[in-house]
Amino acid sequence: MAVHRRLPTQDRLIWKHEPPDLKGPFCKVSMDSHDHLFFLCDYPLEVWRKIKHDVGLYGFPENWSDILAYLVNGTGPTSLVHRLALQATIYANGASFSVGGGVGLGVGVGGGGGGGGGGWVGGGVSYPNPSPSSPSNLKNAYFALQAWKSAIKSDPKGILSSWVGSNVCAYKGVFCADPTEGMGGDPSGQVVAGIDLNNANLKGILVNELSLLTDMSLLHLNSNRFTGTIPEGLKDLYALTELDLSNNQFSGPFPSSILQIPNLLYLDLRFNSFSGPIPQDLFSKNLDAIFLNNNLFEGEIPQNLGNSPASVINLANNKLTGDIPTNFGYSSPRLKEILLLNNQLTGCIPQGIGMWSDVQVFDASFNSLMGHLPDTISCLEGIEVLNVAHNKLSGELPDLVCELRSLLKLSVAYNFISGFSQVCEKLYGRNVGFDIALNCIPGMEMQRPQPECSLIPGGGLSCLRIPSLRPLTCGTLLQSLNESAP
């Protein structure tokens, strides 16, 4: 896990009738007649990714104004600037940040429209081709939302009690915005820009009429009780950049409609009951985050895994089998986290893993991987968590691995490692998250019984290995690996 860098803080709260003094270079602020604060902000894409990463791992600061301070004072390259309207409505019992404009950020915190207290952040793009703003947009949205409401059989929190009448922008969990201006104005120019029903505990299904919400950029439905399959009509949501269906009861094969959403950047299907193979086309999409963990996916990992431009790929806790793809390490340099734990993977860890100079988390524990740890792991200069515990790895632990400067946690427990030398021994002595329990290392405590160590699994398995008696020149090695990549 990456080291947490807390968001900057402000010394005071921002109250309902007090427009904040925003002195940063990015935002303009105004207040409408309903005491709604509107922010029109330009931020580099890197800022959105930083916010999404921090909030995804650590949640929101207690003081919601911390987030405003971070937004206002955010810095980064000026290229890839994306526009957003961030509408902040301040309630007596909390704050609710809602999505607007060509959505770049959406946050739900605490009361009001905060989605039952569930927080979410998403870095997205502006509408690719904004549709004309007209009353027909909201009429279509009304028809779609009423059709969906009729398919929801349980609403214990009474969230849908506000879904009456034609003013869909007043529906709880539904956020509207002007797709061209990004600011409040004539209601006839607004569209449904986002839906956040996180933690609503709704029971029902998704309906095909949701395809009418063609201006929607965010759909967040995590922690509900939705069942069934994903409607084919979702492929028509051309403006959708973030789709979060996690922690529900969806089933069936991987939804083909999701693969056809043209501008999707963030996909979260974890904690459902999707099954069957993971489609190869998934890793050809321009996704920034892929969460498929805790489902029932099976079969081999597609060979084009390395083609994905994602910064996070989580395939953990499924039933995936076969080898890790040989082009595994040839992924985008944006990749920061890859999680394959608790599957049924076999074979070797590919040499190409060394291509990930910026990866921070690699977890392939609880599989049946065999052979030696490749020396190219020493090229993972940014690695913080390296977990290959509960496999069938053998050989000595390379000193080059223990010399990684950013390494905070290294676990090779429950393998058949036969030894390590002085550098790794010093790391073990410092007790810095170094777990070598139940291996075959002579003279160490808590190791396997000798009879188990005499029968090393996969002893005849041949893994391509580039041994090195001196520090690797990673640039030269990786260039060689890249030239031989499929």
Q: Tell me: pLDDT of 401 over 50.
A: yes
State both tokens at 125: 């793009």
Identify the CA nearest to 199 among candidates 226, 228, 163: 226
Mean pLDDT within 120-145:
58
Identify the CA nearest to 146 among candidates 160, 158, 135, 136: 160
Mean pLDDT within 18-40:
40
d(CA 318, CA 344): 8
Q: Tell me: pLDDT of 475 over 80.
A: no
d(CA 281, CA 261): 12
Mean pLDDT over the full length of the chain: 73
More confident residue, 328 or 43: 328
pLDDT tens, residue by residue, 213-262: 999 999 999 999 999 999 999 999 999 999 999 999 999 999 999 999 99
pLDDT for the residue 347: 93
d(CA 162, CA 155): 12
Q: Tell me: pLDDT of 393 over 90.
A: yes
pLDDT for the residue 226: 98
d(CA 288, CA 80): 15
Mean pLDDT within 443-466:
77
Using DSSP's 3-state secondary structure scheme, residue 30 falls into strand
Mean pLDDT within 365-375:
93
Q: Tell me: pLDDT of 127 over 60.
A: no
CA–CA distance from 182 to each of 43, 59, 142, 250 (Å)?
14, 27, 21, 34
Mean pLDDT within 464-472:
46
State both tokens at 414: 């429950």
Percent of the chain with pLDDT over 90: 46
More confident residue, 50 or 320: 320
Query: 335 pLDDT band (50/70/90 cuts)?
Result: confident
Mean pLDDT within 467-479:
50
Mean pLDDT within 418-427:
81
State both tokens at 395: 């050989």
d(CA 198, CA 60): 15
Query: 428 pLDDT band (50/70/90 cuts)?
Result: confident
Instruction: Lowest mean pLDDT of 46-55, 167-176, 286-295, name the range.
Output: 46-55
More confident residue, 470 or 478: 478
Which runs of consecutive H residues, i.e. helices, occur in 106-233? 135-150
Residues contacting residue 187 through CB under 8 Å, at least 6 positions apart: 138, 167, 169
pLDDT for the residue 132: 41
CA–CA distance from 316 to each of 112, 248, 352, 446 (Å)?
34, 17, 20, 28
Tell me which residue has tokens 């997205």: 124
Residues contacting residue 469 through CB under 8 Å, at least 6 positions apart: none
Residues 410, 402 contacting (CB under 8 angstroms) = yes
Question: Could you state, in order of their start, the residue ranges of all structural domains in the chain?
Answer: 1-276
Percent of the chain with pLDDT over 70: 63
Using DSSP's 3-state secondary structure scheme, residue 51 falls into helix
Using DSSP's 3-state secondary structure scheme, residue 208 falls into helix
Q: Tell me: pLDDT of 74 over 80.
A: no
d(CA 332, CA 286): 11
How does DSSP assign 368-423, residue by residue? --EEPPPGGGGG-TT--EEE--SSEEEEEEPHHHHT-TT--EEE--SSEEEEE-HH
| CATH number belonging to the domain at 1-276, selected among 3.40.50.150, 3.80.10.10, 3.30.110.30, 2.30.30.90 | 3.80.10.10
Query: 381 pLDDT band (50/70/90 cuts)?
Result: confident
Identify the CA nearest to 120 among candidates 158, 67, 156, 80: 67
Residues 377, 400 contacting (CB under 8 angstroms) = yes
Mean pLDDT within 180-187:
46
Residues 319, 298 contacting (CB under 8 angstroms) = yes
pLDDT for the residue 65: 46
Q: Tell me: pLDDT of 161 over 90.
A: yes
Could you count the other beta carbons within 10 Å of the beta carbon of residue 235? Answer: 18
Tell me which residue has tokens 């395939």: 315
d(CA 480, CA 461): 24
Residues 217, 174 contacting (CB under 8 angstroms) = no
d(CA 127, CA 295): 31
- Helices 65-73 and 45-58, packing angle to 10 deg: 150
Mean pLDDT within 368-394:
92
Query: 188 pLDDT band (50/70/90 cuts)?
Result: low
How does DSSP assign 362-375, residue by residue? EE--SS--EEPPPG
More confident residue, 80 or 307: 307
Amino acid at 177: A
